[in-house]
Amino acid sequence: MLGTSTSSVTALLLLSLLKKLDKLRDRMESTHRITKSPYHRYKMDFTLKIYRKLLETLQAQGYKFLTFEQYCMLGLRPQDESLNCVTAESPSDKQQETSATREANIDSPTHQITESPTRFIILRHDVDLKAENSVETAKIEHSLGIKASYYFRVVPDSDKPDCIKAIADMGHEIGYHYEDMSLCGGNPEKAVVHFAEKLAYFRTYYPVKTICMHGAPTSQYDSKDIWQFASYKNDFDLIGEPYFDVDFSDLFYLTDTGRRWDGYKVSVRDKIPTYQDVWTANGWVYKRTDDIIRACNNGSLPNRIMITTHPQRWTDSKVKGMQEAIVQNLKNTVKYLLIKWRSK
């Protein structure tokens, strides 16, 4: 009895703190937002159930799913039609295309997709922490005939051999989520050697062809700077790095950074500065996953999108979800202050 009331008081205190932080940051961001309780704001989002619903909705609307490796191999160029053009299709056409897509995705090895879809999602996951959660999203995708790209770090909470192997066995792409400059204290020679070692390690699970930098917000080093001292394409036989090899004039970017889909406002490095203003002007601003699902259903979602998720925040556990939300909220506030401080 006493334990229950103590945890209730703790929960209330945490919620009150969360609400205060939200209000503070809202005021600083100067965005108009209807104030709702933290319970309302966080409940029911970033669950595996909603994740499955998002993927199913995208499939039903005719989006094909690509790994980043497939995107790079296809060499997709900007399309003639507008990024936000909605093709008129009958529901039955969409259904047929969805079934065909599923079969193509199940039957074809990663490197054998040759068609260039008009409407597609590059599905990318940055496995920053809690690698076990990635196995769960990988299973959901596998059950829907979707292959995605999973980028692993070398830190113990990400580099879990059983998880990497399980995800590779499902046919997903594995890549290296590198941060060698930070890990080697900004020493470029050491960083390049470290990168080579770790890339070779991840290639024991999968023939890694793409990599993606980990944008550690608190590090003074930018992981991408390593490429001022080596070439990932020429020296390491790699074909793509999202921060260099995606044409964002032709592709809309969605990321769950900051546990919100409009987290670019509080992100230090995971954002696309030049095009974000255009996307915002077009009204492509989504906060909750339900907002994206709604936009997909009403045809206002752009045709070509890269979606990046961090599977550590996707869980059906209410306790873990709330913990994640509280920690993320604190991080967002720190990151926001960091951005303000650095821009001074």
Asked if 153 and 180 count as a contact pair (C-beta separation under 8 A), the reply is no
CB proximity list for 250: less than 8 A, separation 6 or greater: 76, 77, 78, 79, 83, 304
Return d(Cα 258, Cα 262) in angstroms, integer: 8
Q: Is 256 in the site for Zn ion (CB under 5 A)?
A: no
Nearer to Zn ion, 101 or 257 (CB): 257
What is the DSSP annotation of 104-129? Answer: HHHHS-GGG-----SSEEEEEEEE-S
User: What is the Cβ-side half-sphere exposure of residue 135, based on CA atoms within 13 angstroms?
Assistant: 13
Tokens at 323, concatenated? 């913990």
Handedness of CA 224, 229, 232, 236 (dihedral sign): negative
Nearer to Zn ion, 63 or 195 (CB): 195
Residues 211-230, one symbol each (x = binds Zn ion by CB under 5 A, - = not), give ---x----------------
Nearest to 284 by CA among 296, 267, 265, 301: 301
Nearer to Zn ion, 172 or 313 (CB): 313
Least distance (Å) between residue 8 CB and Zn ion: 35
Residues 108-127, one symbol each (x = binds Zn ion by CB under 5 A, - = not), give ------------------x-
Q: Is 128 in the site for Zn ion (CB under 5 A)?
A: yes
CA distances 210 to 73, 238, 291, Å, are 11, 6, 30
**Residue nearest Zn ion by beta-carbon distance:** 214
Which listed range, 62-70, 208-216, 225-233, 330-338, lies at the site for Zn ion (CB under 5 A)?
208-216
Least distance (Å) between residue 126 CB and Zn ion: 4
Which listed range, 140-148, 206-214, 288-296, 313-321, lies at the site for Zn ion (CB under 5 A)?
206-214
Least distance (Å) between residue 113 CB and Zn ion: 26
Nearer to Zn ion, 118 or 219 (CB): 219
Nearer to Zn ion, 22 or 126 (CB): 126
Q: How many residues bind Zn ion (CB under 5 A)?
A: 3
Task: Return the biggest CA–CA distance within the chain.
Answer: 66
Least distance (Å) between residue 177 CB and Zn ion: 5
Contacts with Zn ion, residue ranges (CB under 5 A): 126, 128, 214
